[in-house]
Structure 1
Amino acid sequence: MTESLSDLRSWQIFGELMRCGSMSRAATACGCDVSQVSRRIAALEKRVGYPLFERSTRSTLPTGEARELYERLYPVLSDIDRRIEAVTASVGMRRNRRLVRIQTVSGLLPFLVRTIGSFRMAHEEYDFDVRILSAPPADETLDADIGIWADARQSAFLEYRDLGAVPSRLCASPAFMEKHPVRTIDDLDRVPLLGCSSWVCPFMLMGNDTLIPLKRRLNMTIRFDSVGALLEAAKDGLGVAATLPAYACDVDLRRGTLVRVLPELAGPTLKFRLIRHKALTPSATVERFADHLTATWEKEMSFGK
């Protein structure tokens, strides 16, 4: 085990040297001296069997093999660092406080605010750190205790709890609809369409007519990186939002600040999941809030079902 941990430290120093391009700067970044960096790199070169750097009095240049190693090892080293930070943050809580770290998309913020508020009425000792990402992390890592996304991908590193499907709506402001009436599916080709670049579902509409099932893939005129921005654009009369998750727009539909466009058409559904690390055993703190979130979701996201 000691030898393995020593190798991990050597690879971390190797990564820092690749980033810095200088043994002195790498030593400063790693909190050690230049001789330690040199010894670690020499030991790695002996282990792999080929040189990693070309050294001179003025520079330390990586070899082609070193560049390939760095490209393939960097995601692994970054994941280890993030996992260490995640565990230490979860364990190093303030005295008599409990922390839950959450990552999700911006459109779910109103729901999360209500969920955290109702939970803290009975658990005032809980603290929350909520961060927004437009989409699940591409490298299949999760820098939080809980993630909430509509994502069809599967990762061997994560576990999933199905929350259920949320329908979508075609919406626009009343003022926009007065200027640009949309009465048929073909009218959608003649008005500006607003989309969200982080959606994992295709923009496809399914007709309810049993005789002529309708499928139309829509071309977006303007895209935004969040559901929140898409909602604001629709309310501001920029075009027809195709399509908005029901949790984001139903309040505005009830208030009349948005109206349904072609309500007889059914848009795609978003299948949401609660995501957690498999390797990190959830604490009772996280488990308690996850159960509360799931129950609240089932209550609030039914949309008349």
Structure 2
Amino acid sequence: MPTVTTTATLADVTASDAALRRYLHGLPGVDAVGLEARAASLGTRSIKTTAKAYALDLALSMIDLTTLEGADTPGKVRSLCAKAARPDPSDRTAPRSAAVCVYPDMVGTAREALTAAGAPEVKVASVATAFPAGRAALPVKLADARDAVAAGADEIDMVIDRGAFLSGRYMAVFEEIRAVREVCARSEGEPAHLKVIFENGELATYDNIRRASWLAMLAGADFIKTSTGKTGVNATPANTLLMLEAVRDFRAATDTQVGVKPAGGIRTAKDAVKYLVLVAETVGADWLSPEWFRFGASSLLNDLLMQRQKLSTGRYSGPDYVTVD
């Protein structure tokens, strides 16, 4: 386990690009075969009846409902917010979503819609920093995040500069995360939480995912997130397991807890339960809440509602039981 233990050593690790590089490249190498085997093994666990009902509701409460398209309209965002506030209009016991995630220019619309729906506890998240590619100058990225925070975003999902990371310019990535974190600290009220997106498919190796996890956490990330959902490789059980191990070890080393968000490719209740098992077996009950674990998977909500209704009534609903996004 890495040995960052005090504020002083944290400062030492991030004192220079060379120190940060030494630290990140000194992290234990990832046993890819062992990691994938453990993820596959945990994926075979099954849960029944009462435990399954609990898992379905927990997964519902962890979803960040997302619309991130060029064709997004205020009407589409309002519709998504209505769904987050009342996932199943026929069943008031269905948990609300954790958040609605939109582009910065739609934050105000989302905030107004959730307030009107009587669901102010549903967070408004916003992607920023030239999402999804992250290819923009730092002032542009900071302006992007600043606009979202000013409009009332509770959470900022930023993408790292993968080009800088892959070329070994770790301090540039570290400083960019720190700069966005400063933007998240509002002059009034609670700061916006910062989720840092790696785009694991582009990082290519498990060692890079581990390094990115520690880099983001050292820079002050509140959450680490697998992917944008805009590439061919998104969340997988193995890369999520690796990130869960990283947040576990980071808390043991620094007494600071960081959340994890797998995003992209999680579409069924069965998938969601597998991820919840990963959380329970790797980091434990402390992370089994929307405060510390999220799903970036809008299409997942519909299957969870279908499975929830099947568990309650013994039969599947018709195809018009849930809305199609």
Q: More helix per residue: 1 or 2?
A: 2
Whichever of the two has the greater Rg, that structure is: 1
TM-score range, shorter chain: under 0.3
The structure with the greater share of residues assigned to strand is: 1
> TM-score when scaled to structure 2?
0.23
TM-score normalised by length of structure 1: 0.24
